[in-house]
Amino acid sequence: MIETDVLIIGSGIAGLATALYIRQFQPGCRIDILSKTSLQENNTQYAQGGIAAVWDDQIDSTGSHLQDTLNAGDGLCDEEIVRLVVEEGPARVRELIEWGARFDKKSGASEYDLGVEGGHSHHRILHHKDVTGKEIHRALRETIKRAHNIHLHEQAFAVDIITQHHLGRNITRLTPDIECYGAYIVREDSTGVEKILAKRCVLATGGIGECYKATTNPPVATGDGIAMTYRAKGRIANMEFVQFHPTSLYSASGESPSFLISEAVRGAGAYLVNADGVAFMKNYHPLKDLAPRDVVARAIDNEMKKSGMDHVFLDARGIAADRFEAHFPNILRKCKAVGLDPAVDLLPVVPAAHYACGGIAVDSSGQSSIKNLYAVGECSCTGLHGSNRLASNSLLEALVFGRKAAENLSRKLDKDNWKEGIPDWNAERTTDPREKVLLTQSLKELKEIMSFYVRIIRSDERLQRALNRLELLYHETETLYRKSVVSPQLCELRNMITIGYLITRSATLRKESRGLHFTSDYPDKNEVFVENSYL
């Protein structure tokens, strides 16, 4: 058993940055970080485009960044949270640079080469070629490894958070009725379940893309933190808003994860064309190819249905070959590996599940409805994104809320003691030799259900069919879980079924179309629903 001051579950930008901020506020406290596979396998590593922040006051303003974010969020953003993030964002990015992150500068100049992406009215995207997330994570990892009080645990999977429920009191978002004391975990090299006791616990478990067949997320994006919080009766918000990135590279073989063609490529001049080679985004939005992602994804979906094809095309031939190679070397390598040359060929692209705008409901300090439990990054719902995330705001949110959570949770650490009397995991289970086959088949069914019934365009009938099928999967998996030895694969399946239910149930409650949620039964916005959807 480990006793720690702060347990952080997740090792992407949100988890690592939060740890570094806690160290600033409480230099002597112990911090333990869990990574369920390797430290380097997380959504941050796959982030291509960059991080948005107002960098040049002569050409941009926080007011403009705020308005762009509100426009993308389509009426559901918390304006005070948006203001907080865009105003504090530049300072957080400067700290990231101090930790060693390197962003591209203009040729022969000291100024940063600021990019522009869909929904942004100004050039404000700092980037490192087309592997920005990988560069940021490198800098954070190297800084973390020099910190003596931060302990890293790789191949350590969190099965559930440890909570105590107090009966007879009302549960609200800001008056916690439940307390968190740490987590039960299982390690790759062990068959037993351990407990880690913590004064404060931070969930930074990332996204939910693995619930879908086509996703830009890595295999670890199984929604673990959100599912654990829901099982513990914590509040979850806005799960119906799943962002599909418009331009993943189409693969007839179903490559997973889908390779992302960054929005920055369209910012550099590329544009979408249909099967006839005709540019079509002018028919859908005044910003054309740089419209918000929900608009572009639906437009592509519509063009695919009209043509009967499995994809549309991205025309990047107008970008000079040397410029493409300088700015998008990773994308160029991938294209050439599959026999495509962006200077000559049209690139086949298709929308893929990319980002969850909903998640664990938190306040302005990252505090969830469960006492001592915080959530940071994609697994949280802060109010920043509303019904649709503005491109490159996610990395920024992780930094700003990582610091806010660190500041808040650090205040009482010295006064708190570890909870006594926490029981060990109940290990009275037997091994089921059919487990792996059952898991594989159930996972395949889940992805089929979510990809067909709960994708970009929804309807009441499709959502109800999804709920019926998810209920059957849920009961089958819970039966297997109760009689089987705990394994990360079984826990991930269990979590993903929960996530599938949360997305689908939330979608049935929103009787309108807004942002990333579009239903053919209610195609218009309805001001009755200008509020968060809680489960």
pLDDT interval class at 220 (50, 70, 90): very high
Measured CA to CA, the distance from residue 485 to residue 435 in angstroms comes to: 10
Element (H, E) at 125: strand 125-126
Q: What is the pLDDT of residue 433?
A: 46
Omega before residue 218 within 30° of 0, cis: no
Q: Which of 293, 462, 469, 494 is catalytic?
A: 293
Token pair for 98:
């101090």
Q: Is pLDDT above 60 for 483?
A: yes
Average pLDDT over residues 400-410: 97
Domain with CATH 3.90.700.10 in the chain: 248-351
Q: What is the pLDDT of residue 420?
A: 80
Q: Does 3.40.50.300 match the CATH number of domain 435-520?
A: no
Percent of the chain residues past pLDDT 90, beyond the cut:
78
- CATH code of 248-351, in short, is 3.90.700.10
Q: Is pLDDT above 60 for 432?
A: no
pLDDT interval class at 277 (50, 70, 90): very high
Q: What is the pLDDT of residue 321?
A: 95
Q: What is the pLDDT of residue 509?
A: 95
Q: What is the pLDDT of residue 528?
A: 85
Question: Do 381 and 207 touch, CB atoms closer than 8 A?
Answer: no
pLDDT tens readout for residues 91-142 = 999 999 999 999 999 887 789 999 888 889 999 999 998 899 999 999 999 9
More confident residue, 423 or 316: 316
Q: Is pLDDT above 90 for 340?
A: yes
Token pair for 331:
């994308």
Q: What is the pLDDT of residue 199?
A: 95
> CB under 8 Å, gap of 24 or more: what pairs does 144-147 form?
144/16, 144/19, 144/20, 144/33, 147/19, 147/20, 147/23
Task: Please give the span between the terminal C-alpha atoms of the chain, in angstroms, as a whole number.
Answer: 33
Regarding beta strands 193-203 and 2-9, do their DSSP bridges make them parallel or antiparallel, or are they unpaired? parallel
Q: What is the pLDDT of residue 169?
A: 45
pLDDT interval class at 434 (50, 70, 90): low
Q: What is the pLDDT of residue 429?
A: 55
Q: What is the pLDDT of residue 167?
A: 47
- Mean pLDDT (the chain) is 92
Q: Is pLDDT above 60 for 392?
A: yes
Is residue 102 part of the annotated active site? The answer reads no
pLDDT tens readout for residues 8-55 = 999 999 999 999 999 999 999 999 999 999 888 888 887 888 999 999
C-alpha closest to that of 219 among 45, 467, 91:
45
pLDDT tens readout for residues 54-87 = 998 888 999 999 999 999 999 999 999 999 999 9
C-alpha closest to that of 44 among 213, 216, 265, 183:
216
Domain with CATH 1.20.58.100 in the chain: 435-520
Question: Do 409 and 200 touch, CB atoms closer than 8 A?
Answer: yes
Q: Is pLDDT above 70 for 439?
A: yes
Q: Is pLDDT above 60 for 171?
A: no
More confident residue, 481 or 316: 316
Q: What is the pLDDT of residue 435?
A: 60
Measured CA to CA, the distance from residue 370 to residue 172 in angstroms comes to: 9
Q: Is pLDDT above 90 for 416?
A: no
